[in-house]
Amino acid sequence: MANGLTISEYIRASYPRKQTVKVLEYNAESSCLKKQLAEFGYKNFLGICTGNPDIQRDPDLYYANEKTLTYKNNAEVLIINSADFMDLKNAFHSSADLILFIPSKIIDRASFLPLWAYKLARKKKWNFRFETFGDIPGETRTGILFKRNHQKEQAARQYLSPELGLENFFDLLNERRLDYVVLRWFDELPFLDLDEDVDLLISDEHIEKVRELLNERVGILPFDIYSAGGLPGSNFHNIAYYPPYIAETILDQKELWNGKYSIPSKRHYFLSLMYHAVYHKGEKSGIPATAGGTVKKIPQDHDYPGVLKRLAAETGAKLEENSLEYFHHFLEEEGWAPSTDTIRKLIGVSGQWLESTIKSSEHNFEKDGELMVFVVREWAEERQLTHKITDWFDRNGLCLIRAIKLDEEQKRNAAQSMRGGNWGQGPWPVSGGKPSTLLVMYDYHPKPLNAKMKKKYPHVSNEHYLLKEQLRSEINFSLSKEERANPLHSADDEIEALDYIAAVAPDLLQEIKTIVTEWDQAYKTEEKVVADVSEKKRRAKVEVIEYEGKRAVKKTYKAGKERFLEREKFVYGELSKECEFIPKLIDSGENYIIVPYLKTNKVTESWHIKKQILKRRHKKEIFSINEFFYNKGYALIDFHPGNILLTPEGLKVIDFEFLYQYEERPPSDRDSFDLNGFPEDFEEDRPYGIFPKQRRNMWRKILY
């Protein structure tokens, strides 16, 4: 743009088709800019004068000597006259898309101020350039122009125009029958202090209508608007302000105060204020964490202990103690305390004292592994991905106890009690939707997180919960960036897992306990264990045991993995009678097999050395094993050198979990799946993470 434009001309050129653009001029010395813009139809303007209004008041300006107004506003264009460092620093926290910074002192491009502003702008993700304006005939002013180059996030904090005012605003809310309540301090309305914000709880249906009303004109009177369901841009630290079922109860039973303001009932005001003091304010509320404890901070605005005491007396409630811990338990008794996963999100707000309130669920029971819950969301259910998700966890070693497909009432309970009530899209382009199916799973072998991961996920108890991250990537991999969503959520540990089940299917808790107890009992090893030689333990554990005075190998299968066991029983028990390379079955049961313990040469533990030995000395035996299974009509889908043992008794082959009976046998044994890998469209059980070409290429290097 050419130099010498007036500020009004620059705004018109920047927003040629948007006469509703909100413009705020800070440190306005006159109403000239307002009149210039109005001539061209740009009437959404607020000029703030910080001078003494008693000397000569301009009726077209708003008088306020408050420096924070450079960011406490909803303007899209922010003009700051006679500005200093702090004015600009504050302005970068505003919602403006364009900031025109006109310093109080004359600047040039080499001075310290532009260099400092440039560095700050880059850090805050704003574009920076000089601009010269000719608002005064014959004179020019140099300013610095900043344009936002990042998307601003929608937030609960909004601002009302002082020209509309609080009284008129509430008249409009009532006239339009919008469903809201003023949460607290309504007896002090209308507020005169610009630092005092109005907190509104609004139904999900009407939240955008209230937001639009607040944003019609340039505003500086602060409001915090919270939707009942914790919708994006109207929540508290990405969780619902109150548990949604509580928020809906407050709205359903609201009362009219002073003939103008919708407010909570007396009882709900008492409980909601206590909730606010405990979980939103916490150690900043002026209430000690424990009885007799030290008050960390006394707020200057409100006496929470005193007001709660008065409201308790007015509602007939009996408070025996003044502490955050006591109030938390009081809210628990009233059914108003948040769930465990929500409490964990609030610890950073309320203080570390809140950690002590998390206790093991009353439904917990003794077990050897860990109960886990994954929540399949509507987006995944609609795309028929639930079976894929269940199968993926199964292949990674987790055992499904129950898949609970939620009915409408259960979906509602799950959405309100899990994830802080917030089921928005988060950082994903598409929302994953509400809960649809609960996968209750059991992990026989939970794995603690390492120190680095524990720092990132402080509440996650089991590394296998992080499998969901891999699964999310796998599901979204084939989608364009615009189509991707978060398909599933999970608990963080057993406390949350049991909370989730109790919220939607409490009748299943006893059944789940019975199943897990039976699984644990069946999985125990009665014999003396010499060593655990398991690898991934996805389907079974493998142990060296003492059996009838000798060492043997016992393989014990998890619940639901019986098909793998039956294949091994068949090979070790039946096919071993016809093939010298297969060890013979010693014993078996409903969930285990026992086979001989075979000593191997330690040098063969090296993959490179073992490969060379097989290549030079044992090609004939490998082809014989392949031919034997081919002639019997079977393939060893997981046939690889790791399952070949070089023992003093000769070469032996083990591990037949993935034995496959051909539907149509390949033309010759050299075309078998064992050596060539399974087909691309193979739908039967296959080893996790193995692709057909891997097996084919591996055996070619050894055998040819």
Task: Give me the count of residues in the chain.
Answer: 704
Sign of the dihedral through C-alpha 288, 294, 297, 300: positive
pLDDT on residue 106: 63
Alpha-carbon 611 to chain mean position: 45
- Dist CA 81 CA 91 (whole Å): 12
- Dist CA 590 CA 592 (whole Å): 6
- Dist CA 197 CA 158 (whole Å): 9
Within a 10 A sphere around the Cβ of 129, how many other Cβ atoms? 11
pLDDT on residue 420: 84
- In eight-state DSSP terms, residue 515 is H
Dig out the tokens for 403 from the structure.
């898949």
- Dist CA 75 CA 178 (whole Å): 25
HSE (side-chain half, CA atoms, 13 Å) at 350: 28
Question: Which of 285, 261, 269 lies closest to 172 in space, CA to CA?
Answer: 261
- Dist CA 161 CA 168 (whole Å): 10
Strands (E), 507-580: 529-532, 540-547, 550-557
For 692, counting Cβ atoms within 10 Å of its Cβ (0-12 exposed, 13-18 middle, 19+ buried), the class is: middle
What's the mean per-residue pLDDT of the chain? 91
- Dist CA 368 CA 443 (whole Å): 9
Residue 305 in contact with residue 322, Cβ under 8 Å?
yes
- In eight-state DSSP terms, residue 606 is S
Within a 10 A sphere around the Cβ of 318, how many other Cβ atoms? 7
pLDDT on residue 545: 97
- Which residues are within 8 A (CB) of 545 and not within 5 positions of it... i.e. 6 or more apart? 525, 527, 528, 529, 530, 551, 552, 553, 554, 594
Alpha-carbon 230 to chain mean position: 14
Q: What is the pLDDT of residues 59-111, one digit of tens each?
A: 899 998 888 899 999 999 999 988 777 888 889 889 999 999 887 666 555 56
End-to-end CA distance of the chain: 73
Within a 10 A sphere around the Cβ of 137, how many other Cβ atoms? 5
For residue 80, give the H/E element and its range: strand 77-83
- Dist CA 269 CA 255 (whole Å): 11
Beta strands 634-636 and 650-653 are unpaired
- Dist CA 90 CA 69 (whole Å): 8
- Dist CA 493 CA 608 (whole Å): 41
Dig out the tokens for 426 from the structure.
């988060």
pLDDT on residue 695: 84
- Which residues are within 8 A (CB) of 614 and not within 5 positions of it... i.e. 6 or more apart? 622, 641, 644, 702
- Dist CA 429 CA 410 (whole Å): 26
Residue 180 in contact with residue 200, Cβ under 8 Å?
yes
Helix then strand count (H, E) for the chain reads 23, 26
pLDDT on residue 1: 43
Single-letter amino acid code for the residue at 161: S
What DSSP assignment string belongs to 308-355? HHHHHHHHT------SHHHHHHHHHHHT-SPPHHHHHHHHHHH-GGGG
- Dist CA 366 CA 16 (whole Å): 69
Backbone angles phi, psi at 358, to 5 degrees: -80, 120
For 200, counting Cβ atoms within 10 Å of its Cβ (0-12 exposed, 13-18 middle, 19+ buried), the class is: buried
pLDDT on residue 17: 86
Residue 251 in contact with residue 241, Cβ under 8 Å?
no
pLDDT on residue 486: 95
Place of tokens 């309320």: 350
pTM: 0.83
Low-confidence residues of the chain, pLDDT below 70? 1-3, 53-55, 104-120, 136-138, 191-194
